[in-house]
Amino acid sequence: MDGKTRVCGLIANPVEHSMSPLMHNFYAGRTGVNLAYVPFKVREDQVEAAVKGAFA
């Protein structure tokens, strides 16, 4: 990871069970893509604020 790492993720609740981070980070590592994929647990009433925060 460095200043050029693209941070991507999944917004959900619950999100702890998701296999997406494992799969995407594995793929990124195998292909040399500078990516960090993380799960973001966000309550349904906070989705708009979470998306705005991500863009900010």
Domains in the chain, ordered, with CATH? 6-55 (3.40.50.10860)
Distance CA 28, CA 50 (A): 24
pTM of the model: 0.82
Q: Which residue, among 13, 30, 31, 9, has the nearest Cα to 21 in the 3D structure?
A: 9
pLDDT in tens, 1-56: 999 999 999 999 999 999 999 999 999 999 999 999 999 999 999 999 999 999 89
